[in-house]
Chain A
Amino acid sequence: MEILVCVKRVPDTAENEIEVSRDGSDIERGDLVYSVNEWDNYAVEEAIQIRDKVGGSITVVSVGDGDAEEVLRREMAMGADKGILLSDESFAGSDGKGIARIIKAEVEKGRYDLILTGAQADDGAGQVGGMLAAMLDWPYASLVNHLEMLDDKRIKVGREIAGGNQEMNEMDLPCVLSIQTGINEPRYVGIRGIRKVASVEIPVHKASDLGLATESVGTAGAKVKRLDYFRPELGEGAEMLEGSPEEKLEKLVELLKTKGGLK
């Protein structure tokens, strides 16, 4: 089984307060802690479990600048066999469709049976996997929280749907799946694992290597373009309790009592 997993380097929202830059053109990136998009770790873990069961190899791929190499290396330390960085100045400003086009060009250079993506990224909306599948004319399922190989041509896939229910489907390979958190427990990556892959060469493929016309990607090819960032318009918002911790506790207990929160 040849598996491709698409990963992305993102600011870690658990570790950062995200602020809008002064002119609104970007977020403040100076002190941000970056990591692999959380969903992508589940996708890589799932790929590892499949490979370890049925054999084959895993390639992790990312579209980004040189910094994206560190997340590829991290996923290789986790257990992926190979990393490929898709990077070109002309890729900047791509919309979801542009990113899908770039990855599609890489997919066509290989022979993959299965492509996994995270169900979404913190700054995205779960669009690339579905678009990539449609461009390749491969079947697609989103929000996958169960995966089972039936044979070398078919796969059983559970999708998360409303109310904690699960929709089971049978799909033909090759296919594209977007992986939801909770499908597995991504393994821990230790410092030793990182060291082991520290000097592995990660090829960089540019637009010309991929046979991509630069006007089909990046800002030039985008039908959806970012104009600016801004602070969300706040509603009335919560009444914030102020004072010492002790004062906050007293006020809160009083409020809970009044509102029927204590029985």
Chain B
Amino acid sequence: MAQQIFAYIIQKGGKIDDTALELVTAAKKIDSESSVTALVAGAGETLATACSQAAASYETVWKIENEALVHVNAEVLRGLLVRILPKGSIVLIPHEHFGMDLAPGLAVKLDAAYLPDAVGFEEITEGKLKGVREEYSGQVSTHLSCDLSGGAVITIRPGSFAADESRALSGQTVDKSAEAAADGIPGKSRRFIEVVAAEVGDVDITKSDVLVSVGRGIEDQENLEMVNELAAVMGADVACSRPIVDAKWLEKSRQVGTSGKTVKPKVYLALGISGSFQHMGGIKGGPYIVAVNKNPKAPIFQVADVGVVENILEFIPALTEKIKEVKG
């Protein structure tokens, strides 16, 4: 394939994100022969550190250094990338908070196809990549044909491609900073101010061994009382999924997921949680997952160890009573 493949590497404080190695696998699925170029942006020593980490997995690393990228701003970075990426490039970007900010506009400015949130790639026929996406909260999947001929921007769902840990390269770092900034700094109409750190809650769920986590299936704020009772008899802490925080029924510090906390319990009891990838992305360390949901098709049953199809509003009080009975 004549088209060059690029992978955007998310880095924080000099540490490259887990997705960096997942994008290697994704790129190799598109073209197993071609060398892949990592795009790493930032400033100062942390950027140099991130570039050297990326060089262990990528043949070439393009370093984009600029004071305006100390905290990476998608509007600035997009303007810089458009100046240096060759016509017809295929650009892979993680589908997370930053990638969602950068990718759609980049696809427009490169006049490329945009395939968002891919979870898999199948074959390429006549320049068209057959990609897989999940839709309707993971209830169905779909095949999409993405025309690569004029270039493409593809965002990759974190965790959906296995990380390629086999590589021990010493890739070449190419400094693209001057070329990228030759016409000045773009994206000035959006200016970074600060990062406001997450509130600290009364319970630190990242330290809990047993979590009773509740989702939309609880239906009403008043019903949270039964969840608290169950957690109390189990000796567990209460966590939740996003809709519960959106409804302001529990504080943000109790939310598990990519936009909430990352937890590492031994046992995770998910009650009325459908199991979106954003929620599951916040559960690490391979806990024993028990899911109770009235919808037998809820995606959480694909990742849980044990599943129960029941209405949680009846099941929770019964479970509390049963545990009390067993504990005596």
Contact = CB atoms under 8 A, between A and B. Distances in A.
A244 to B, nearest CB: 11
A131 to B, nearest CB: 5
Interface in A216-263: 223-235, 237-241, 245, 248-250, 252-253, 255-257, 259-263
A161 interface: yes
Interface stretch (A70-78, A168-176, A199-207): A168-176
A243 to B, nearest CB: 10
Nearest to A160: B259
Given A167-B195, A241-B306, A261-B267, A140 B144 contact: no
B28 interface: no
A229 B304 contact: no
Interface of B is mostly: mixed
A126 interface: yes
Contacts of B210: 260-263
Interface in A124-153: 124-131, 133-135, 138-143
B103 A130 contact: yes
A13 interface: yes
B301 interface: yes
Interface stretch (B52-60, B171-179, B308-316): B308-316
B205 to A, nearest CB: 11
A138 B304 CA distance: 44
B29 interface: no
Given A168-B195, A223-B147, A229 B140 contact: yes
Nearest to B292: A252
B75 A248 contact: no
B107 A131 contact: yes
Contact of A125 (B133, B247, B259): B133
Nearest to A260: B266
Interface residues of A, number: 84
B32 interface: no
A154 to B, nearest CB: 9
A253 B327 CA distance: 10
B108 interface: yes
Contacts of A167: 71, 192, 194-196
Contact of A142 (B100, B147, B319): B100
Interface in B294-308: 295, 297, 299, 301-308
A160 B236 CA distance: 28
B143 A250 contact: no
A96 interface: yes
Interface residues of B, number: 104
Contact of B262 (A134, A163, A226, A248): A163
A140 B192 CA distance: 13
A18 B318 CA distance: 30
Contacts of B130: 227
A166 interface: yes
Interface of B: 71, 73-75, 78, 95-98, 100-101, 103-109, 112-117, 130, 133-147, 150, 152, 155, 187, 189-199, 209-210, 216, 234-236, 242-243, 245-248, 252-253, 255, 258-262, 266-267, 269, 274, 288-291, 295, 297, 299, 301-310, 314-315, 318-319, 322-323, 326-327
23 contacts: A11-B136, A18-B135, A19-B140, A95-B114, A97-B113, A123-B136, A131-B104, A135-B108, A139-B189, A139-B190, A142-B100, A143-B100, A143-B101, A159-B97, A168-B192, A168-B193, A171-B190, A223-B114, A223-B150, A226-B142, A240-B307, A241-B306, A248-B310
Interface of A: 11, 13-14, 17-20, 27, 95-97, 100, 119, 122-131, 133-135, 138-143, 156, 158-172, 175, 181-182, 185, 223-235, 237-241, 245, 248-250, 252-253, 255-257, 259-263
